[in-house]
Amino acid sequence: MHNLSISPDFTPLFRTAIGFDRLAQLAENAAANKSNAGYPPYNIELLGENEYRITMAVAGFEMSELDITSEGEKLLVKGNKSAPKDGRKYLHQGIAERSFEKTFQLAEYVTVVGAELENGLLNIDLVREIPEAMKPRKIEIGRTKLLEE
C-alpha cells in the first residue's frame, strides 16, 4: 500500500486577488468572493513589479454591453448581453453569450488605469501605486544624538 501525501492546491486563491502579497489576505478574500464562477474565462498577468492585467474572454460582446466599475478595493465587470435582433436560429451555439457579473478583490493602492476590447478579449490594466510614506526606507545605523550628550 502506498502512502500518498496530498498537499493543498491554493491556485483558486490566486485567481481573483490582484496585488496581494500575503496568503492570509488571499484566503480571507477568496472565501468571501463566491460570485466568481468559471464564466467568462480570464487570465491575470503580472506585467511588472506593480503592474497587472486582467484579460477576459468576452466573445460576442460589444463595448456597449460591457461595464467596468472600480469602488474601493473591488473591481466589478459586468456583461449584459442583449437578445439577438436578427432572428437567428442556432443548430449549435458553442459561443456563450450570456450575461455575467465578475468581482475581483483588489489590494490596497491597486487602481484601474485603462481597459480595451480587442478581438473578443477585454483587457483591464491595473497598477499598484504605494504612497511614498508607505514605501520601505533605509535606516542608517549610527549613534543617536541622545547618547552623544
Q: What residues make up the domain containing 102?
A: 11-132
Of 96 and 21, the structure prediction assigns the larger pLDDT to 96
Any domain includes 55: yes
Any domain includes 97: yes
Question: Which pLDDT band, with edges at 50, 70 and 90, does 60 fall under?
Answer: confident
Q: What is the pLDDT of residues 80-108, one digit of tens each?
A: 987 767 777 878 878 777 899 999 999 88
pTM of the model: 0.66
Cis ω on the peptide bond leading into residue 84 (within 30° of 0)?
A: no
Any domain includes 17: yes
The count of domains in the chain is 1
Any domain includes 62: yes
Backbone angles phi, psi at 6, to 5 degrees: -110, 120
Any domain includes 148: no
Q: What is the pLDDT of residues 108-131, one digit of tens each?
A: 889 999 999 999 999 999 998 877
